[in-house]
């Protein structure tokens, strides 16, 4: 037992330590602000804010906000605010004890734009950021890439290590061995369920409306749920708060327009895009005409009145897209798809507290239909209605630690009617409500160590009747900076997905993938992510990232190809295993930018004891991208892309199959025979290697009353014959994109 004297000493020590901490807190203040473009008022995401005298700072978030806590009070500091392509600003600011100092900062664009593709928000001040697997992508990065037809966010993701596609004809992407339906696409936090135009060849997202992009390749933290592979978060522009403006543009496929301008205490933006020609699509479809017609429209209204509610922002946004593929031939089926999204968001920062609150309400609707007409195709109808309410709270402590909690309520209804290849009818429709909460704590008090520890808890399932009701999703992400130039990072997480699509593994191009709630006779898909890597900053101009990952998925819903009767299940459980390593190098010097990327990966699926490679499994992928600012508003870039063999199912023979269709036909019976392909085991064959070289040249013409942007690209410069597939009935070879010059023009008034 301790003596009375030692006990007294301990109590006195605790008292003085507590008083010391209180005095320290009373002698500190907090600096908060928002960084925007001086010409338009658009938020500048992932910029750098540094307190010069303390060499501490923060990066702006996707809204342009930053927060620096525990700044010694009663002193005047120099705040350095920088952003690529903008003039660095030096601001004198005095910090008051125990008070919040808020700054509205506007940066002016540079008259001479150098390093125009350098990634916005290089990690200059946040040395302990827990961001493994996260790619922040600026629109200027995408615009510098060579264009297949026009700038496309999804098709550009193939330059990111760990991301695969199955060819030039599809914009569907596969992340670290996961299937395409495991990727969550969020537009202003509202999900887009079918984010593809033109049979999946292009994205429905027009880059003209996007401010910034966050792409999580895996290991994403607990605020995100509902998918088990990746998260693509798209934040749209607010619109010019100072002046009205119009932009019009055209490519060889679409025409587009954007209107933006101020409104009282806010701004608006309206964008629209419409296809007008499908001639260029023949290059994607083996010179065959596709009667594809599509459009997309988006809008956003912003309101922020400091007299009504200080440090708040209200947004109302909407998005509509539609696709029609209608054929004059009555023996060819028609396809129709529609997305409809509407949402409201309220962001609020406490006036004199480091507390942030966000409330969002979203309605997302998808409609899809396959009309067989007189063809042999099967009719499919799919409707999905998603109504979501979410609330998020974030509090930042004096120590720079952060705590986040949130609630999400999603009510979903799905309808699906289809027939399988054997004529068995399925009427699959269900509805349910998912209520989930999350909590996380970020340890950021140490400059060389950061940790994000949290979990999601699913209080209810979409599909009722499952054996598990309360489903936990624990996650952790760590960063330890061994030296200023070297950091080691890691992440582990558990993920659950209750939605799936009916995806046919044998289809070369996935034309229609209807969404459904995982039936109650199946457990939801569950995945484990394990990631680790290193980040090297070799001087000011060279950075290297190396990451390894392992992913295991169980209860993976898979189409039951052995369904013969209505009583047979439509889906059966499978599993997926994927692992690999990624290397990414970026070298920046003056107006010159070079990136190298390489990925080694393996993926396996298992269904009822049968193991096979998924169609997107490529062992080696890589690319080299070089950009050079030539001056005088000229810019050029070159990209070389490589991937090793993709799997395919080989034909091993043919036989004459008798097709009994018309009992009363007068035609000779031998006319009812046709060749029928005999196939080997699924995806045992491998296609040849794929590679191509692309070039881009762009020029901005700056006139007194308008700006004109001209962009010229050449895809597959040396006309590489990249094999796509062989037709099973004729053996004809079908290649991917040939030598293809393209051009786009944009006029800004």
Return the HEC string of 294-344.
EEEEEEEEEECCCCCCCCEEEEEEEEEEEEEECCCCCCCCEEEEEEEEEEE
Run of H or E including 9? helix 4-26
Run of H or E including 17? helix 4-26
**pLDDT band of 281, cuts 50, 70, 90:** confident
Q: What is the pLDDT of residue 581?
A: 96
Strand 210-216 and strand 134-138: the pairing is antiparallel
Q: Could you give the C-alpha distances from 390 to 190, 399, 409, 495, in angstroms and in order?
A: 10, 28, 6, 19
| 394 and 223 Cβ atoms separated by less than 8 Å | no
> CA dihedral in degrees (407, 408, 409, 410; nearest 10)?
-170
Instruction: List CB contacts of 17: < 8 A, sequence separation 6 or more.
Output: none
Instruction: List CB contacts of 346: < 8 A, sequence separation 6 or more.
Output: 312, 313, 314, 358, 359, 360
CA dist 52 and 689 (Å) reads 52
Instruction: Return the structure tokens found at 444.
Output: 């950021």
* Rg of the chain on CA atoms, in Å: 28
CA dihedral sign of residues 722, 727, 733, 736 = negative
CA dist 744 and 749 (Å) reads 17
Q: Could you give the C-alpha distances from 8 to 1, 19, 346, in angstroms and in order?
A: 13, 17, 52
CA dihedral sign of residues 82, 84, 88, 89 = negative
pLDDT, tens digit (0-9, with 9 covering 90-100), for 82-101: 988 889 999 999 998 888 89
Higher pLDDT, 259 or 417: 259
Percent of the chain having pLDDT more than 90?
A: 52
| 628 and 635 Cβ atoms separated by less than 8 Å | yes
Is residue 16 left, alpha or beta, with left meaning phi > 0 and alpha meaning psi from -120 to 50?
Answer: alpha
Residue 199 has pLDDT above 80, yes or no: no
Q: What value does the mean pLDDT take over residues 413-427?
A: 72
Residue 291 has pLDDT above 90, yes or no: no
Burial of residue 469 (number of CB atoms within 10 Å: 0-12, 13-18, 19+): exposed
Query: What does the angle CA 291 – CA 293 – CA 298 come to, to the nearest 5 degrees?
Result: 165
Q: What value does the mean pLDDT take over residues 466-478?
A: 78
Residue 3 has pLDDT above 60, yes or no: no
Backbone angles phi, psi at 613, to 5 degrees: -90, 135
List beta partners, residue 260.
Answer: 245, 269
Q: What value does the mean pLDDT take over residues 344-352?
A: 92
pLDDT, tens digit (0-9, with 9 covering 90-100), for 23-56: 444 588 999 999 999 999 999 988 899 999 988 8
Instruction: Return the structure tokens found at 488.
Output: 């080691």
From the centroid of its chain, how far is CA 95?
A: 39
Domains, the chain:
10-107 (2.60.40.1120), 134-652+684-748 (2.40.170.20)
Residue 628 has pLDDT above 70, yes or no: yes
pLDDT, tens digit (0-9, with 9 covering 90-100), for 559-596: 887 777 777 787 889 999 999 999 999 998 878 899 99
Strand 183-187 and strand 230-236: the pairing is parallel
Q: DSSP states of 480-527 as a string? A: EEEETTEEEEEEEEEEEE-EEE---TT-SS-----EEEPPTTSPPEEE
DSSP 8-state code for residue 735: E
**pLDDT band of 672, cuts 50, 70, 90:** low
Residue 200, SS3 per DSSP? helix
Residue 22 has pLDDT above 70, yes or no: no
Q: What is the pLDDT of residue 449?
A: 94
CA dist 472 and 223 (Å) reads 13
Print the SS3 string covering 628-697.
EEEECCEEEEEEEEEECCCEECCEEEEEEEECCCCCCCCCCHHHHEEEEEEECCCCCEECCCEEEEEEEE
CA dist 691 and 697 (Å) reads 21
End-to-end CA distance of the chain: 82
| 30 and 65 Cβ atoms separated by less than 8 Å | no
CA dist 253 and 201 (Å) reads 12
- Count other Cβ atoms within 10 Å, centred on residue 1: 5
pLDDT, tens digit (0-9, with 9 covering 90-100), for 428-437: 778 889 999 9
Q: What is the pLDDT of residue 6?
A: 46
List beta partners, residue 459.
Answer: none
**pLDDT band of 464, cuts 50, 70, 90:** low
CA dist 674 and 730 (Å) reads 12
Instruction: List CB contacts of 564: < 8 A, sequence separation 6 or more.
Output: 422, 424
Is residue 484 left, alpha or beta, with left meaning phi > 0 and alpha meaning psi from -120 to 50?
Answer: alpha
pLDDT, tens digit (0-9, with 9 covering 90-100), for 676-728: 667 777 888 888 999 999 999 999 998 888 899 999 999 999 999 998 887 77
Average predicted confidence (pLDDT) for the chain: 85
| 47 and 2 Cβ atoms separated by less than 8 Å | no
| 151 and 145 Cβ atoms separated by less than 8 Å | yes
Residue from 31, 89, 83, 27 nearest 57 by CA: 31
CA dist 553 and 523 (Å) reads 12
Percent of the chain having pLDDT more than 70?
A: 88
CA dihedral sign of residues 551, 556, 559, 563 = positive
CA dist 29 and 680 (Å) reads 70
Q: Which of 103-117, 332-346, 494-508 has the lowest mean pLDDT?
A: 103-117
**pLDDT band of 333, cuts 50, 70, 90:** confident
Burial of residue 325 (number of CB atoms within 10 Å: 0-12, 13-18, 19+): buried
Residue 666 has pLDDT above 70, yes or no: no
Q: What value does the mean pLDDT take over residues 130-141?
A: 84
């Amino acid at each position: 037992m301790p003596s009375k004297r030692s006990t007294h000493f301990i109590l006195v020590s605790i008292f003085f330590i507590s008083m010391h901490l209180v005095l320290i807190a009373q002698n500190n203040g907090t600096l908060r602000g928002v960084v925007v473009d001086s010409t338009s008022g658009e938020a500048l995401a992932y910029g750098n804010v540094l307190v010069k005298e303390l060499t501490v700072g923060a990066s702006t978030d996707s809204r342009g906000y930053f927060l620096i806590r525990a700044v010694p009070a009663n002193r005047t500091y120099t705040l350095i605010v920088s952003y690529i392509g903008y003039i660095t600003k030096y601001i004198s600011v005095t910090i008051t004890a125990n008070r919040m100092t808020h700054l509205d900062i506007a940066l002016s664009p540079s008259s001479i734009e150098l390093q125009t593709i350098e990634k916005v928000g290089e990690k200059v001040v946040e040395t302990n950021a827990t961001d493994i697997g996260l790619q922040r992508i600026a629109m200027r990065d995408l615009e510098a890439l060579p264009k297949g037809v026009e700038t496309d966010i999804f098709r550009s993701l193939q330059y990111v290590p760990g991301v695969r596609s199955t060819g030039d004809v599809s914009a569907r992407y596969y992340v670290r061995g996961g299937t395409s339906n495991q990727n969550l696409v969020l537009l202003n936090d509202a999900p887009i369920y079918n984010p593809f135009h033109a049979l999946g060849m292009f994205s429905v997202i027009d880059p003209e409306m996007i401010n910034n992009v966050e792409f999580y390749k895996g290991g994403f933290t607990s605020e995100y749920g509902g998918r088990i592979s990746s998260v693509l978060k798209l934040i749209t522009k607010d619109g010019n708060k100072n002046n009205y403006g119009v932009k019009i543009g055209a490519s060889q496929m679409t025409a587009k327009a954007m209107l933006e301008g101020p409104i009282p205490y806010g701004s608006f933006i309206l964008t629209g895009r419409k296809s007008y020609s499908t001639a260029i699509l023949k290059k994607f479809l083996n010179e065959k005409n596709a009667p594809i017609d599509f459009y997309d429209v988006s809008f956003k209204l912003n309101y922020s009145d400091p007299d009504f509610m200080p440090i708040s922002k209200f947004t109302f946004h909407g998005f509509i897209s539609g696709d029609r593929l209608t054929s004059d031939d009555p023996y060819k089926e028609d396809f129709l798809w529609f997305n409809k999204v509407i949402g409201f968001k309220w962001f609020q920062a406490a006036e004199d507290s480091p507390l942030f609150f966000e409330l969002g309400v979203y309605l997302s609707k998808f409609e899809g239909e396959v009309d067989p007409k007189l063809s042999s195709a099967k009719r499919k109808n799919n409707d999905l209605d998603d109504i979501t309410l979410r609330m998020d709270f974030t509090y930042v402590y004096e120590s720079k630690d952060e705590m986040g909690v949130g609630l999400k309520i999603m009510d979903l209804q799905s309808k699906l009617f289809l027939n399988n290849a054997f004529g068995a009818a399925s009427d699959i429709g269900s509805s349910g409500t998912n209520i989930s909460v999350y909590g996380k704590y970020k340890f950021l008090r140490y400059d060389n160590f950061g940790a994000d520890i949290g979990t999601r808890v699913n209080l209810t399932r979409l599909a009722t009747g499952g054996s598990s009701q309360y489903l936990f999703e624990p996650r952790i992400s760590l960063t330890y900076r061994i030296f200023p130039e070297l950091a080691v990072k890691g992440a582990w997480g558990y993920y659950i997905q209750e939605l799936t699509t009916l995806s046919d593994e044998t289809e070369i191009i996935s034309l229609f993938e209807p969404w459904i709630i995982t039936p109650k006779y199946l457990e939801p898909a569950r995945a484990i992510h394990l990631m680790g890597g290193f980040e090297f900053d070799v001087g000011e101009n060279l950075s290297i990232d190396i990451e390894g990952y392992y992913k295991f998925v169980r209860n993976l819903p898979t189409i039951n190809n052995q369904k013969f009767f209505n009583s047979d299940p439509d889906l059966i459980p499978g599993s997926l295993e994927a692992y690999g390593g990624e290397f990414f190098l970026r070298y920046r010097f003056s107006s010159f930018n070079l990136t190298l990327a390489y990925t080694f990966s393996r993926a396996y699926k298992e269904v009822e004891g049968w193991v096979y490679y998924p169609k997107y499994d490529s062992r080696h992928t890589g690319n080299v991208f070089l950009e050079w600012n030539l001056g005088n508003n000229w810019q050029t870039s070159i990209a070389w892309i490589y991937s090793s063999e993709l799997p395919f199912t080989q034909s091993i023979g043919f036989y004459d199959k008798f097709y009994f269709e018309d009992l009363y036909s007068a035609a000779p019976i031998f006319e009812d025979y046709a060749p029928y392909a005999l196939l080997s085991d699924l995806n045992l064959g491998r296609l040849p290697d794929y590679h191509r070289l692309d070039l881009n040249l762009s020029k901005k013409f700056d006139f007194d009353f308008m700006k004109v942007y001209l962009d010229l690209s050449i895809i597959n410069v040396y006309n590489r014959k990249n094999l796509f597939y062989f037709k099973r009935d004729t053996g004809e070879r079908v290649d991917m994109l040939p030598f293809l010059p393209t051009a786009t023009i944009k006029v800004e008034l």
